[in-house]
Amino acid sequence: MRRDTVRQSVLAEASDLIHSDRNAAYGPPMVNFQRIADIWNVLLGEQLTEPITTRQVADLMIATKLARGVEQPRRDNYVDMAGYAACAQECVEEDTDRGLERQYAEAMATGGQIVLNEPYYEDDES
């Protein structure tokens, strides 16, 4: 199989999974990842300095797949990592949207200005 065909098939399979089977089984990624984050936050409790976010759930699921691949590389792990990466970006964008909505609401409530060119995340890696 040609390299570009392999890449295309892995990404197509990941797309199929995140848009059909898994959505039907577990709900939308943001909802499911928030459930996971809530459970992990309860389990880890005071050991955390900040609550786990939906994006961190996606990142940690990728790390789980990486750890599994150390034992034996499998296509399934790479397909799942591609899907989790897409979901992680969705989490970032939804968190950013909610952050902008919150900034707007706060500005409207206080009569302040909205500054859209400041990064939402303090630890912005861009």
Q: pLDDT tens digit string along 78-121? A: 999 999 999 999 988 887 777 665 666 666 667 665 554 444 44
Question: Smallest Cα–Cα separation from 95: which of 32, 23, 30, 22?
Answer: 30
Q: Check residue 120 and give its pLDDT.
A: 46
Q: Tell me how far the alpha carbon of residue 66 is from its chain's centroid.
A: 16
Mean pLDDT, residues 5-20: 91
pLDDT band at 10 (very low <50, low <70, confident <90, very high): very high
Does residue 124 fall inside a structural domain?
no
Biggest alpha carbon–alpha carbon distance for the chain: 60
**Range of 99's domain?**
3-110
Residue 122 lies in a domain: no
Which residue type, as a one-letter code, is found at position 18?
A: I
Question: What is the Cα 126 distance to its own chain's centre?
Answer: 16
Q: Is residue 117 part of a domain?
A: no
Distance CA 116, CA 51 (A): 25
pLDDT in tens, 17-62: 888 867 778 888 888 999 999 999 999 999 999 999 999 999 999 9
Question: Which pTM value belongs to this model?
Answer: 0.73
Q: What is the pLDDT of residue 119?
A: 46
Is residue 119, in this structure, part of any structural domain at all? no
Report how many domains make up the chain: 1
Give the residue-averaged pLDDT of 63-83. 95
Judge whether 123 lies within some domain: no
68 CB-contact burial (10 Å; exposed 0-12 / middle 13-18 / buried 19+)? middle
